[in-house]
Structure 1
Amino acid sequence: METKSLYIIRHGKAEDPSFRKDDFSRDLVEKGIARSQLVSEKIKKKISLVDERTLIISSTANRAAQTALIFARTLGYPEDRIMWEPSIYEAHYLLILKRLNDIPAQYDRVLLFGHNPGLSDLVDYIADDYINLKTAHVACLTLEEGLDYSTLSANTALLDAIVDESD
């Protein structure tokens, strides 16, 4: 059984909140697009293989969906296989964990795109490692040997790295 990997990815930098546009509809700004592209290239070097055992799940909020599409294109992941998950938007980390627990064991690599504070809290819970995930940053985790996503819970993953736009 291959060790499972989990990539927790916060959306790229988005438009500032305003009364003209609801939060869900906020789009990435140029800086957010550029950073997402740069970080996705770094992740491509970390993930040795993107195939049918790879799954991308994303919040349906514009900024998360746009970030997921940038990563999918960089990784060569078919856009029509992205699993769009409305429940991730503004979700508490335990609700995000519940969604991860539903992932079939056939997947070895999962990339999850969403929002703070839920994503940072999730990493803290499953890896017992407090982080504050910034925009377009990726928490790279490995599940304990022998575990799959259905058994992911408190302290069952190891935070391997935070990938960001810096060298």
Structure 2
Amino acid sequence: MLLYLVRHATAQDRALGVPDPSRHLVDKGIKQSQKLAEFCKKQQLKPQMLLTSPLVRAEQTALLLHQHADWPEPQKQAWLIIETLAEVQLKALTDLMAQGVESVCCVGHEPDISALLALLLNTDAGHFFIKKASITALELTPDQAVLLWSLPVALL
């Protein structure tokens, strides 16, 4: 299965006092998401499924990918919310593989994306820091994961 991991784009600052689950994308985040979507469309990257954390900033990032890259409608997944164990996320991905899903994009959060990458690649999460609106691609089989590439939005 081809797995794309996307970190949500830039959202409202926590210091503004907005409850964390309700933080919206700011203008910079909207532009980042659109740039990411343009890259994906140009590269003909189109996952079979688009899954997102139910937190607003991740949902908005996924919706912009849907709208601007012609990706599938985003589906909220509780296992993509912040502080979900990487083992729980891996189990969900393994279940999707078993169902025959060939490609999926998960829009989520740090440090969860780094923790999942570390588990998949059998290394320490400290080796990764995925920037906002970045995309990482992996090839997943039941036995292993191979990192194909990882690009920050600034390079797109």
Check the 8 A contact 1:42/1:163 in 2, yes or no.
no
Structure 2 CA distance for partners of 1:134 and 1:109, relative to 1, 3 Å: same
Question: In the alignment, which residue of structure 1 is the partner of 2:27?
Answer: 30
Question: In the alignment, which residue of structure 2 is the partner of 1:159?
Answer: 147
Distance in structure 1 (CA, Å) of the matches to 2:135 and 2:106? 9
Distance in structure 1 (CA, Å) of the matches to 2:43 and 2:120? 21
Deviations 1:64-109 (A, max 9, x none): 0000001111221342xx2211232111222221221221533211
Question: In the alignment, which residue of structure 1 is the partner of 2:90?
Answer: 97
Structure 2 CA distance for partners of 1:46 and 1:120, relative to 1, 3 Å: farther
Is 1:126 the counterpart of 2:123? The answer is: no
Is 1:87 the counterpart of 2:84? The answer is: no
Quote the sequence identity (%). Answer: 29
Structure 2 CA distance for partners of 1:141 and 1:45, relative to 1, 3 Å: farther
Q: Classify the secondary structure of the residue corresponding to 1:141.
A: strand
TM-score, normalised relative to structure 2: 0.85
Q: Supply the AA of the counterpart residue of 1:157.
A: A
Question: In the alignment, which residue of structure 2 is the partner of 1:107?
Answer: 101
Distance in structure 1 (CA, Å) of the matches to 2:99 and 2:38? 27
Is 1:13 the counterpart of 2:10? The answer is: yes
One of 65, 72, 75 as aligned partner of 1:71: 65
Q: Supply the AA of the counterpart residue of 2:32.
A: R
Which ranges of structure 2 fall in alignment gaps of 5 or more residues? none
Distance in structure 1 (CA, Å) of the matches to 2:42 and 2:2? 14
TM-score, normalised relative to structure 1: 0.80
Deviations 1:18-60 (A, max 9, x none): 3632101101111111111111221223345x4xx70111001
Check the 8 A contact 1:59/1:114 in 2, yes or no.
yes
Higher helix fraction (1 or 2)? 2
What is the count of residue pairs matched by the alignment?
150
